[in-house]
Amino acid sequence: MPSYTVTVATGTQWFAGTDDYIYLSLEGTAGCSERHLLDKPFYNDFERGAVDSYDVTVAEDLGEIQLLKIEKRKYWFHDDWYLRYITVKTPVGDHLEFPCYRWITEDKEIVLRDGRAKLHRDDKTQILKQHRRKELEERQKMYRWKEWHPGFPLSIDANCHSDLPRDIQFDSEKGVDFILNYSKAMENLYVNRFMHMFQSSWSDFADFEKIFVRISNTISEYVMQHWQEDFMFGYQFLNGCNPVMIKRCRELPIKLPVTTDMVECSLERNLTLEEEIKQGNIFLVDYELLDGIDANKTDPCTLQYVAAPICLLYKNMENKIVPIAIQISQTPGPDNPIFLPSDDKYDWLLAKIWVRSSDFHMHQTVTHLLRTHLISEVFGIAMFRQLPAVHPLFKLLVPHVRFTIAINTKAREQLICECGLFDKANATGGGGHVQMVQRATKELTYSSLCFPEEIKAKGMDSKEDIPYYYYRDDGIKVWEVIKSFTTDVIDIYYESDEVVCEDVELQAFVKDVYVYGMKGNKSSGFPKTIKTREKLSEYLTVAIFTASAQHAAVNFGQYDWCSWIPNSPPTMRQPPPTEKGTVTIEQIVESLPDRGRSCWHLGAVWALSQFQENELFLGMYPDEHFIEKPVKQAMMKFRKDLDEIVSVITERNKNKKLPYYYLSPNRIPNSVAV
């Protein structure tokens, strides 16, 4: 009788093994096998990390194996099992691979296809078509869209982490408990003695050092030493943790009535302000989105304030970007003066602090939360709903949505919800952050997620004009390598644009992103359909780049740039100055966060800047969803290209006091997971 050798690999994560009964049956073109219990006498099967082999004998030849069914039945109590893959050696010596990489819970069964990626049109038999359809029907019941707040991109229909499908939950929920992690961070930073000292102001700038952790040769210490200097203020717009706000100024906005006389002492080329603008030496950062946003009122004992400043910057003769004028509110007038470097020292310093505080709000809520976390979740939900596991694009994208829906659900549960942790220390907590996301979602465009296109639209693309914009330089390198990789994969499975047009599952995925994720907003520019291989490559690059590189660029530098509180205040406790010549050091310290809020802020930026345990970085694909040799070769090329970028960045950063490494591929996680 024919005999098949079946090899079963159990996951390596905690609690991946099971003591339940595991049954297997094979379905081929010539018939189906009986259900076989996979069990070895006197042996503990399916332990965590185990790879177990079994001989399965059948009554007659099954023909070509099409499906493999795994059933789990309770032994003593329900014991979830994480199945990595199964391989089958047929009687004629063929080796078949059946990737799974899923949890099997309760008394459930799953049906697997072999690992060769197939488009919808490739399935000719009814049994394979039916399996494909049934998988998506089941997924669409599990992965449902929900509006968490009006005006937000749609998210997963789950109130808490435990409501999520088991396959997308964290291995250990404890590891991503924000309350626990923030408290642990404050304990590790030795600042927990201050964490309840709300309303208690610091004495002076030096007093902030009581909660500042000195780590030798780090960016954070350099920031502490130089934060008051104009060059450091300007540098952060290029290479800080929010390097997306600055744009070249083509014309001075009417709402910012700066004249040449005002800034003449800052201009180094003996040109008028208008001439400097024409030469491309003037830059603008406008926080208009913050205008009218409600400040946090959750603590009746502390008034908090939000402003919407406009900052004018200048590229000096050393090619450094420095500030030359700041207006703290949007509407010009006698009670909204334009602050200048020539003003009193503390006037100018407080104006810069207001800009830095506003930048923090934009970074956390728009750059970070909306434009990486929420957008990646949209791609993830649409992928699970519309692409079956056998689809090549599912195999390509699934590593890049790992834990994303889980971390966002946890954030909605503990962080950005009403009375959540965000309210503790942030001036935009208590509802202001919701208003910001609503406004920013209306303005969000697909083209702004296309990295080179967005850099060019802001007039920031010239390396000769702006030589120290490492975020741009490294980002474009990583974008191009990802795009080359997606193109290589697409070319394997889509031999023409016509095949792209005819892929109904791909089109359903794109439509789901547009209709549900982006709520059918035409002005967003998100495509409703994709008709060419070139556009498909761009679309997939947007999804992967946003989840990996873009998130890394704006997330993992938070402790570096925001741990010195005066450089990045999460709240301001005094209103903006309305006249010049009155600001004192005492007024600045009273404006900055109190001791309690400073500590919560420090715990947050520390926790958010840490990589996950067992982090998977860009190009690392330990789960072998793809089994075909051409794709594995494309992956090897991808990793080689990424390694070359790492070498270039490492060489550039040598001996730099301010190295830029956030977009080095060996520091870019595959997905948004923190």
* Annotated binding-site members for Ca(2+): 17, 39, 79-80
β pairing state of 3-10 and 81-89: antiparallel
User: Are 11 and 48 in contact, with CB atoms under 8 Å apart?
Assistant: yes
Known binding-site residue numbers: 17, 39, 79-80, 368, 373, 551
- How does DSSP assign 374-387, residue by residue? IHHHHHHHHHHHH-
User: Are 476 and 450 in contact, with CB atoms under 8 Å apart?
Assistant: no
State the DSSP H helix or E strand holding residue 138, giving kind and residue range, or none if neither: helix 126-142
In whole angstroms, how far apart are CA 45 and each of 58, 92, 405? Answer: 22, 27, 32
β pairing state of 36-37 and 65-73: unpaired
User: Are 82 and 16 in contact, with CB atoms under 8 Å apart?
Assistant: yes
Q: Rounded to an integer, what distance in angstroms lies between the CA atom of residue 308 and that of residue 573?
A: 15
Known binding-site residue numbers for Fe cation: 368, 373, 551
Residue 119: φ, ψ to 5°: -80, 165
Output the CA torsion sign for 459, 463, 465, 466. positive
Tokens of 274: 């208008």
Q: SS3 for 194? A: helix
State the DSSP H helix or E strand holding residue 504, giving kind and residue range, or none if neither: helix 504-512
User: Are 90 and 64 in contact, with CB atoms under 8 Å apart?
Assistant: no
Report the Cα–Cα distance between both ends of the chain, in Å, rounded: 53
Q: SS3 for 321? A: strand
Q: SS3 for 496? A: coil
| Three-state SS annotation for 536-589 | HHHHHHHHHHHHHHHHHHHHCCHHHHHCCHHHCCCCECCCCCCCCCCCCHHHHH
State the DSSP H helix or E strand holding residue 223, giving kind and residue range, or none if neither: helix 219-226
